[in-house]
Amino acid sequence: MSPVIIILCLISACLAFTMLFAKSPITSALCLLGVLIMTAGIYGMIGEHMIATIQLVVYAGAIMVLFIFSIMLLNLGESENEFKDKPGIFVLGIILGLSVFGLLAYAIVHYFNQPTIAKKMGQFTPELISQLGGNSKVLSHALFSQFYVSFEVISLALLVAVVGAVVLAKRKID
């Protein structure tokens, strides 16, 4: 593994921990932006330039602008720690989070240790992808033909979530 990838991973891990323990929502959002940029760098270093570009444009660009705009619109400041009065809920949340992480890690390891994983390639073999014009062309064709409705439903769900957050914040201000 390249030393540059290791450095990008370490920076990403530090930013992720800072994001989790930051008191300001803006600081958390900016740390998340750093994690997304480091992830794009890792994708670029392993030769997946299309995914790195999508990571920068869609996630680090559009989604983070939406997050920061929502935080600024809702005027979220530093909030008090709600777990000071109820440490049991905090411990329960940590236990549940670690158990979900453990189950997810077990499922991923179990899936990739199966001997038949090479047989489950799907309909797009490397030869077919090169015949159709490359990864970008196949991905964009699938996204905007087969999965167009799913793509639009996700964008609509994000819009509804932002409108709901604004309505809920408006009630608290009034």
What is the tens place of the pLDDT at every residue in 59-89? Answer: 888 888 888 877 777 765 555 555 566 777 7
HSE of 56, CA atoms in CB hemisphere, 13 A: 12
Q: In the block, which residue shows the tokens 């920076």?
A: 11
Q: What are phi and psi of 46, to 5 degrees?
A: -90, 5
Q: Please count the CA atoms within 13 angstroms of the CA of 105 that sit on its side-chain side.
A: 6
| Distance, CA of 45 to chain centre | 19
User: How high is the mean pLDDT of the chain?
Assistant: 78
The CATH architecture of the domain made up of 1-79 is Up-down Bundle (1.20)
Closest CA to 83 of 91, 75, 74: 91
Quote the pLDDT of residue 115. Answer: 63
pLDDT of residue 87: 74
3-state helix, strand, coil in the chain (%, to 5): 80, 0, 20
What integer pLDDT is reported at residue 13 of this predicted model?
A: 92
Closest CA to 151 of 54, 17, 78, 77: 54
pLDDT surpassing 80 at residue 34: yes
Counting Cβ atoms within 10 Å, is residue 55 exposed (0-12), middle (13-18) or buried (19+)? buried
- The residue among 38, 62, 63 whose CA lies nearest residue 52 is 38
Break the chain into its structural domains and give their ranges: 1-79, 84-116, 121-174
Range name among 29-33, 36-40, 87-91, 119-123 with the lowest pLDDT average? 119-123
51, 77 contact by CB (below 8 A): no
Confidence of residue 149 (pLDDT cuts 50, 70, 90): confident
The mean pLDDT value for 24-29 works out to 85
Q: Does the pLDDT at position 174 exceed 70?
A: no
Helix or strand holding residue 102 (H, E) = helix 87-112
